Structure 1
């Protein structure tokens, strides 16, 4: 009994010895895994192992075991030591304690700072958010991920870059922005302070109305686009289109754009007029200048008329070819053809058709047509056939500029002879002009003015014609029978050359 009492007195309590030791790092970074390991010379004798931090017990094990800090924080800094209860002698236990080891947990990186560029963004423009921090020098290869927030809601998470670009900001995107930097393992994260971003709105200005096709030139049956744009202006802009001359509102569109289009799918003549547009943002309403819209009408198939009754005329006549497209927008180029050979062309700068004068000095029978072209499209008329023959008259005028001018000849028994200028006057010419279907009598020139002179063997059939001017033909006039004229006294005549106009 005395021996037991002696042993109890001699048992060491809470002693520090080399039997129990502690191993742990002196320094660590946030997020590190820190192992505090206490062990004895013979771990099998440990009955209870206790870990302490700053004098407070933090863990207890009933055998040798290490204490692990899986995700170190600055709060884990402090003095660590451990105690072990072990069997000392037979059934006598003792408690041993290690020395203290100081652990300092360092900051891996400071809280980031959010930078907004530009500082005062305007609507519709891009903005760059930068989340700036700095890793500890000996941990510079640590991967960080970045997240960006507006009013607490994530804009982008797990971004590998410290910069985040927003292509366009609008007024309603104003708010409090922040960012967060985090290690790839999510063991350490820090968020920046909030920065208030106020997105500036630019009022509308410089409203312009343009057309497609340009210049306000629309084409009947085609599409016309009215393009309303602003030189400046952000946010939702309401574009409206109006017709100035009628006061009609054509429509409106609201969108986040500095340009909007209104389509008129099929243009007609009734769409011609003055147009303008307006642009409204908040309380700003700006109107464009008016644009005059003209509707050009492409040519349709023109109509060709020939001034010859029944499409029949005689050699020496003067006819008129009239080509017209009543609706085509000027200017229009009219071209005339005989059997696909061009006769000529005439351009008109106002509405209506055009006439082309053709002198039939030779037999020009055949097919005629015209073509109209106003730059939009070219169209051909239908073909008109014209029959040209010798005149059936018993009188004629030869070698003149047209069949109503020249040396006078008359026909008897199938032979042509001349008329003497004795007594030849305007009454005689008036009858002649009437018989030929020409216009009024103009002159009584000498026949020699229209060379070549008649052949010597060509007879002179009329010596003197005594017309009173009311007869329908020379044959009806009283005549003098004597014949003593030579061809140097042949008579000539000039009548007004009337165009044949059946249309």
Structure 2
């Protein structure tokens, strides 16, 4: 009885989750890779990758085998898995589960004012709050600074100034436990009758409102005129001016004008405030495209990073990133600022940009354009047989083809091997065996130009009779692979 044994090869190995750095601390750049290896006979197969945390998708299927978190937070801890599939989904595999624990760090606190106006008038009250992770148990002390000098006797999270005086003005910072000091916020204190107020430290995308603020003993109406750079931007109306979502171009010198009633003299006068410079700060810097390695060769692992920096006053803001090639989206908005191509091909060349936005889309910025050129490499060829059956009988004919990138101009020679020995006189892409004999059996490889040799394929020639009908299977069969 004739017996035939054949094996079904994996198209790609079971994926493995890898995380860098090995121990992630709050605020670190965390990078997770979904690592798999294609069969040497299917090295040009395109794969897609997706990532999950606690079973919930955090990055949908794309060509990137990396998921990056620019500034890891405690809530990014969890059980991570990744999934790899062919574009049709005919082969899909899920990785092992990796538990990633983000260690807490003494995060830099953020200072805020309540009410959120600056400047303030003498006699007003304001509460300063040191926002951020609470200090470690046993080190609950807060430290407050004015113009870099510690403020004695204040060790709580909130610091209230009752009846502000001129000497209270200055640059304030706070520190919780052993954390860094917060970024500084300026508190101006004025003894004028009328002042133009704005939220201190306004950032892009935030609602921006100005108001014409008057000492209560003088105020007669709730009306005012507003000026920017000495030009009227709104005629007489409410004493508040809503500018909407803040943009950096709104920065400038603002003032207001209103009518005051002097109770002692019994007269009403028109009074214009001093000019106040209102600055709208970038929420995050314009993104920059960075590619590694600097020069990408066909087959290299290419990694593209969308690099931006948050304002120190808004370091906990969540950002989303997307990537484009020649204007077409290659990775949709996600928390990952990286797009990776495990094995770059010539068609991955192009003009790349990235886009960064807040979750609401209130602030969105696009990067510069980076032209990435993938240099051609002598790709490892893939050997195939036609007709694609095994084994064959003595007397049959079979054509072996060396598939892959054509060799460089001037080096068009193909080399064929049987059992690691060169086959003399065969230098073409196709090698045909007419009237096969048993001595033609063996492990065949090919090489085009200066490429690597192909993975070997076994050709078996039998001089015995096969049962009728003959039982044959395609060589190099792959799991659910229709090629």
Pairwise TM-score range, normalised by the shorter structure: 0.3 to 0.5
Between the two structures, name the one with larger relative contact order (CA 8 Å, sep ≥ 6): 2
Structure in which a larger fraction of residues adopt helix: 1
Structure in which a larger fraction of residues adopt strand: 1
TM-score (norm 1): 0.40
Bigger radius of gyration among the two: 1
TM-score (norm 2): 0.41
